[in-house]
Structure 1
Amino acid sequence: MSERPNFITPAGFRALREEYEALFAGERPKLLETIAWAAANGDRSENADYQYGRRRLREIDRRINFLARRMKAAKVTDPAAQPDKDRVWFGATVTLADVDDNERVVTLVGEDEADAGAGRISFESPLARAIRGAAVGDTRTVRLPAGAKDYEVMAIAYPGLSRRLS
């Protein structure tokens, strides 16, 4: 099974690794102790600590497996090392304007670190796909469920770049 690479920034990979370690080395061992203690108390069918512990353990194990797969498929990409900083690529922070001159600032990141409310959108999202490779002044049409919308690239910035390209 060949998964496509999971592009991710170094900070995003660190966050995945920290969550994995917190679950695997922190929460899981404590939960195993609680389950063992609850199992030693007798009747497991009416033991809420035991039942909740087993259910929570399954949730943790699923999350650990998911994180392990995502980290294995990860292709850590440092946006500061992007060779063509005049165009929109992975890790770029882009200022966009629509036809009504409403500005929107987005940063293109990996799926695991996307947070639309904070302006971090997945590199695979419709908006990101539409603006990939665009330069300042380019207009791109984004096809959304509500219909097509045009955006003009107003500025492009990358981490570690002291000036904004505009």
Structure 2
Amino acid sequence: MSRGFVKEEDQEEIPIVPPRAHLPEGTTNYVTQVGMNALLEEKEVLMGELGMVESENENERRIAINHINAKLKLLNNRIATAKIIPLEDQPKEEVRFGATVSLKIKATNKTQRFQIVGVDEADITKGKIAFIAPLARTLIQKKVGEKAILKLAKEERVFEILEISYV
């Protein structure tokens, strides 16, 4: 039957689910083991929520279930496409995925510390930047003592690599 002949109150509301962190088409979904563990934990939480959905109104219950299922679909795709990069296999003398890098910002002489991680794990407040971020791409393959230049719209920001570790 066409949806045009269904009563308005019987029509299923399509849940609006915000997309996950952006990962460009064709880009490998690299993750650290910590990142993969977080994705799996998130899945467990959503599965638990799915089992706990209760409502006196059947329509509201279906909407809640559809919303959780939509989030699970996006999450399952991320888990299925994840490629875990073992940090112990990375070259210790060079910045690669998973590296924690201490940098000196030349303009201010301040130091900052970032870890290069997967897009779902990235959180600037925790010092974690996605491997697709411009700063991360600028740092990749650099060594201690080398300079990385990040070209911004009106300036260039120069960073000196002070330390590289894989924790």
In 2, Cα distance between equivalents of 1:64 and 1:147:
42
Match of 2:119 among 103, 108, 111: 111
Match of 2:57, SS state, is helix
Q: TM-score scaled to structure 2, two decimals?
A: 0.78
Match of 1:27 among 44, 49, 52: 49
Cα contact 1:3–1:73 (8 A) shared by 2: no
Residue of structure 2 equivalent to 1:89: 96
Residue of structure 2 equivalent to 1:38: 57
Letter in 1 for 2:57: A
Q: TM-score scaled to structure 1, two decimals?
A: 0.79
Match of 1:95, SS state, is strand
Shift, 1:16, TM fit? 0.4
Q: Decide which structure has greater helix share.
A: 1
Residue of structure 2 equivalent to 1:6: 29
Match of 1:114, SS state, is coil
Match of 1:137 among 126, 145, 148: 145
Letter in 2 for 1:151: F
Structure 1 residues 126-135 or 10-19, which shifts more? Answer: 10-19
Letter in 2 for 1:134: K
* Cα deviation digits, residues 99-153 of structure 1 (max 9, x gap): 1211010000010100001100001100000000000011111123563211110
Residue of structure 2 equivalent to 1:149: 157
In 1, Cα distance between equivalents of 2:128 and 2:153:
20
Equivalences for 1:37-76 in 2 at 5 Å? 37-39=56-58, 50-51=59-60, 53-76=61-84
Structure 2 residue runs without a partner (length 5+): 1-24
Shift, 1:57, TM fit? 2.4
Letter in 2 for 1:79: L
Structure 1 residues 72-81 or 103-112, which shifts more? Answer: 72-81
Residues 102 and 61 of structure 1: CA distance in aligned 2, closer, same or farther (over 3 Å): same
Shift, 1:61, TM fit? 1.4
Structure 1 residue runs without a partner (length 5+): 40-49, 160-166
Q: Count the aligned residue pairs.
A: 142
In 1, Cα distance between equivalents of 2:113 and 2:147:
15
